[in-house]
Structure 1
């Protein structure tokens, strides 16, 4: 896991630690030392810790004019034991919403497992309700993660699956990625 690093090709146009509106403004990542781990596995030092023991993220891009953010995730999303959605919602998402972000692109190819709890569904509903005309799109989720989200009804709050599982997002400029995802979401939601 220590070799999985967040996408870095957009660092020339956006770095969340340098964005005064970002929840990670001023966050310092080590370039050398591996300080975080998921279970007994060290993870690359460029991932940002938002308070979860098993899930890390990197805000790859935020555009306040168009109201969208691209967030890459790593690890195990565990609402059952760690209530990761509550921590993510309160400590990251709400701060971004307050700055005008209402469209979230979550890159989930490095989310290896998802464990839900019936009590945590309220946070997903709250997140979706606060977006008004916005949405949450999840790209490239693993089948077992989508199955678990569907089993608990969380899939009703995310736009996921289908063509969103085949998006080659790394090769696109973030604004072009947003345009592509927005078109897919608009079609899916029938807006």
Structure 2
């Protein structure tokens, strides 16, 4: 009966198509059944091999299972690491300028000034001078520098002592009496000088001397 009625074989096959037969095979078998119906090919020799082939396919095909969905790779959401920069507050150095007001009423002491032009006093050169009637007895050459003349009147009359030269002119205010001695301090500069007695005509009588001062 199965061979005469191909519709039963088709029905039996279709009961298991969803779980056993792949869709390509199912389509081929269904096309074959339609072809035999259309051309009335109901001969057993034609249907028997087909039925055996279907049974072989059904026995060998594993149950169709839906393909497992492709595994979606787990994407680890990278959490951006925000490195918090430590906020550095610049240190402001505040320098306060304090204006100092000078104290009123206080004035510097007046009259106290540094001494200007003062140099250590060199030791003076002491020169002995003898005034005699008609002559002046003393060295005719002296070194430059501070000089102290110790003048003594060894004559019998009044005499005096005067020196001129290099912008210097010194003389005693009072004449020297016989036997009297006076001192005269002069800062001699290098050059030529004239030494004489200015009393009366004593110079013309020979009381004069040419003095030469040399640099030390």
Given the two structures, how large is their TM-score scaled by the length of structure 1?
0.22
Higher normalized helix content (fraction of residues): 1
